[in-house]
Chain A
Amino acid sequence: MNWVDYLQVLVFLVALIALTKPIGLIMFKIFDRKANTGLIGKIENLIYKLIGINPDTSMNWKRYLISLLIFNCIGFGFVFLIQLIQSYLPMNPQHLSNVEPTLAFNTAISFMTNTDWQSYAGETTLSYFVQMLGLTVQNFLSAATGIAVFLALTRGIKNKMNDKLGNFWVDITRSTLFILLPLSVILAIVLVSQGVVQNFNQYTEITTLEGIKQIIPSGTAASQIAIKQLGTNGGGFFNANSAFPFENPTPFSNFLQVLSILLIPSALTYTYGKIVGSTKQGWVIFSVMLTILVIGLSISLFSEYSMNHSIGIAGNMEGKETRFGITNSVIWSTSTTAASNGSVNAMHESLMPLSSMVAMLNIMLGEIVFGGVGSGMYGILNFVILTVFIVGLMIGRTPEYLGKKIQAKEIQMAILAILAPSLVILVFTAISVLLPQGTSSIYEKGAHGFSEVLYAFTSAAGNNGSAFAGLNANTPFYNIMLGIGMLIGRFAVIIPVMVIAGSLSIKNITPISQGTFKTDGGLFGFLLFSIILIVGALTFLPALSLGPIVEQLLMLK
């Protein structure tokens, strides 16, 4: 690494820190507002009129959750259906055939759950119709769903003995119209200026200078890529995702995209602080997230630049693009796994053992190092509850968080939300490496092959979507197993979080006293950090030992 590499890392981190407050403040104002004016406000009010709801009515946790589930089911059903019949639908200049049902199932779940795992290759599988009206829409709505759950939880924390968690329809409408859509328009416009394609053309067949045929794909990429990054979705328009030059043509487009990955999850920590009435609460959480991100980034940079003893060359460029180089590929691989984004600008299967371990561990920790849009915040709040509980045990007091007593129900639910994805990762991986349907898809041999399977279920359970792409995941076995994994990873977190929101909401707020354990300082931050790492390490160290750790040791031998 030379000084320019360090400078790029620094610029990225400074930009992230600098944008957290302003964007967080804007979001706070949007969520806090009672009535809306302006053009978008008019559209918002028109929507409420058209669907026939009163935006001022508030839901209890059950109604909120049921609305969310129904809404997500419809999203799933629509994306599933249009894939099955895409050859009869318009905007299919390549005449791509109907999608195989288990693949359509996997893809529909994948985009509904904000995972964007891709068992398919965009340019050879999906029509522009499906990409636009199916996938782009879910990119928005799954992110809006995450924000909605986050908002419901914060209201539960704020409320004093009432069960009003807000209106799900209002929350998703507002998140989409005022946050996700404007930011996407801005990003898409800039991306187009960098060379990201945006058209409805047929693919172009050309003859290269050396006289070989080459097919150049096309499509409405810019509009989808903008929300793919901002909504922590990550599903590429093309198979190589943001490594593909039409998706990410310049280092500047790369910088904007990788910053967009972390932008909203990071800013939501500030929004959270504002909502609960103490920005310090938000900054503590932000600091813990940033610390884990920087540790992971440092290990990955070290690993990618150090000597590859297997071939005797230092600096790993396999699966990386020349314009980004190693540094920008590593900033991306760390960020995209810390956030539940999952887009890639370099191939993760070709990462060095330690950096691939960081990528996996980032997801395994529960997608709470910034995490997904909304889901990162409600995810880390589970760990906050756990931390408060453990501290309460140590000092022998009833645990409290922001004046709310943390009792058996909250703890049970928080533990459930933390353990359910872990269960998917470990159990589903174990099943897959024992069955011929699981092992026959493995591409690389040995420990690396095990990592392929482990990474796949980690990615599914964490709703991340990145992959060790050598694994042939487009088989009925993996399509269904990963689909179920994504569902559990999403809803076995959302449902407990909504229960916690409902339970906290009806509690009284105890005034702060001398004995209250403060959750807005460095000590709490350190404890939270430790508990995240202890839970993550204890759960996954054995599995990681069979994959990246043993690979690192073998390489050094």
Chain B
Amino acid sequence: MKNIIIALKIFLLMTVITGLIYPLAITGYAQLFFPNKANGSMLFIHNKIVGSELIGQQFTKPEYFWGRPSAIGNNPMPSGGSNLNPVGDTLKDQILARADTIRKYHGNISINSIPKDLLFASGSGVDPHISPETAFFQVERITKYRHLSLEQKNKLNKLIQTLIEPPDFNIFGEYRINVLKLNLQLDGI
């Protein structure tokens, strides 16, 4: 019995320390020093939230850059991947279908000429990035569907260049481009 009371007391104290004081202290710190990041890295235009820099949006129109395919339609309630067997038939069918959609806009190219980012669904379902190659791959299509002039097309290529994020500390991770940021600036070209 004495043991149970000790256990209850220490459980209560630990709950207060690790379940209340600790998360509240981190919240205070985060809200003080990194308010935008702590609240979801929202992007604003004219004081209106247009989305989160970290949460990829669905782009299906040919005049926007497309991001990674999503098993959840980019609506993270809840988040997740396709959970399909990579050597199974369902995924194979999905990938062939995606390739067909892409060929409609990019001509009859082999599957290995299509960037992998546009064929394979992401893990989170809201991957905000694509590789630089995947962005450059889409420039022709966007030029066509937005009726961009040669000058504007050059501007677009430059825009992609400026938005490339290198690996962190030039070691960790991959070269990448934020699709939402790119598309927001694309509208301004």
Contact = CB atoms under 8 A, between A and B. Distances in A.
A50 B9 contact: yes
Interface in B87-101: 87-88, 90-92, 95-96
B3 A222 contact: no
Contact of A208 (B40, B58, B176): B58
Given A193-B34, A323-B176, A350 B19 contact: no
Contact of A319 (B11, B57, B122, B130): B122
Contacts, number: 352
A323 B11 contact: no
B160 interface: no
Given A75-B11, A238-B78, A255 B39 contact: no
A222 B39 CA distance: 11
B150 interface: no
A416 B23 CA distance: 39
Contact of A195 (B41, B56, B117, B120): B41
A199 B54 contact: no
A7 interface: yes
B7 interface: yes
A122 interface: yes
A344 B124 CA distance: 10
B78 to A, nearest CB: 3
Given A209-B50, A240-B123, A317-B117, A323 B18 contact: no
A53 B58 CA distance: 58
B188 interface: no
Interface stretch (A308-316, A427-435, A477-485): A308-316
A358 interface: no
Contacts of B183: 209
Contacts of A555: 87
A192 B27 CA distance: 9
Interface stretch (A29-37, A181-189, A282-290, A403-411): A181-189
A322 B131 contact: yes
Contact of A317 (B50, B61, B116): B116
Contacts of B42: 204
A209 B111 CA distance: 29
Given A216-B76, A322-B131, A199 B27 contact: yes
Interface string A211-237: 011111110101110110000000000
A223 B23 contact: yes
Interface stretch (A66-74, A386-394, A458-466): A66-74
A214 B75 contact: yes
Contacts of B76: 123, 214-217, 238-240, 244
A358 B172 CA distance: 23
B79 A252 contact: no
Contacts of B74: 208, 212, 214
A8 B171 contact: yes
A40 to B, nearest CB: 11
Contacts of A50: 9, 13
Interface string B51-84: 1111111111100100010000011111111111
A197 B39 contact: yes
A105 to B, nearest CB: 19
A347 interface: yes
B50 A206 contact: yes
Contacts of A254: 172-173
A220 B130 CA distance: 28
B159 interface: no
B94 to A, nearest CB: 9
A66 B33 CA distance: 45
Contact of B127 (A188, A245, A250, A446): A245
Interface string A313-350: 10111111111110011000000000000001111011
A132 B23 contact: yes
B189 interface: no
A477 to B, nearest CB: 19
Contacts of B131: 322
B120 to A, nearest CB: 4
Contact of B13 (A51, A133, A198, A325): A51
B26 A222 contact: yes
A309 B125 CA distance: 25
A444 interface: yes
B168 interface: yes
Interface stretch (A169-177, A291-299, A520-528): A169-177
B75 to A, nearest CB: 6
Contact of A209 (B64, B112, B120): B64
A181 B38 contact: no
B37 A193 contact: yes
Contact of A224 (B23, B41, B49, B52): B23
Contacts of B90: 444
Given A11-B171, A254-B173, A322-B117, A469 B7 contact: no
A215 B11 contact: no
A70 to B, nearest CB: 5
Contacts of A217: 76-77, 79
Contacts of B75: 212-215
Given A121-B78, A197-B39, A251 B167 contact: yes
Interface stretch (A134-142, A377-385, A486-494, A511-519): A134-142
Contacts of A352: 86-87
A339 to B, nearest CB: 19
B23 A136 contact: yes
A176 B14 contact: yes
B58 A318 contact: no
Contact of A313 (B53, B112, B125, B129): B112
Contacts of A540: none
Contacts of B81: 240, 243, 318-319, 346-347, 349-350, 469
Given A140-B14, A192-B30, A198-B38, A443 B111 contact: no
B140 interface: no
A514 to B, nearest CB: 47
A301 to B, nearest CB: 15
Q: Give the interface centre of B19, B95, B168 by most chain A CB atoms within 10 Å.
A: B19
28 contacts: A11-B172, A52-B9, A66-B3, A70-B3, A74-B7, A132-B23, A169-B6, A169-B10, A181-B17, A199-B38, A206-B49, A206-B52, A209-B59, A210-B57, A216-B55, A217-B76, A218-B40, A220-B23, A222-B38, A244-B79, A245-B55, A246-B40, A252-B172, A254-B173, A318-B84, A318-B91, A319-B82, A446-B88
Given A132-B20, A181-B22, A216-B40, 16 more contacts: A71-B7, A74-B8, A140-B18, A173-B10, A198-B27, A209-B59, A210-B58, A212-B58, A217-B77, A250-B168, A251-B168, A311-B91, A316-B86, A322-B176, A349-B83, A448-B85
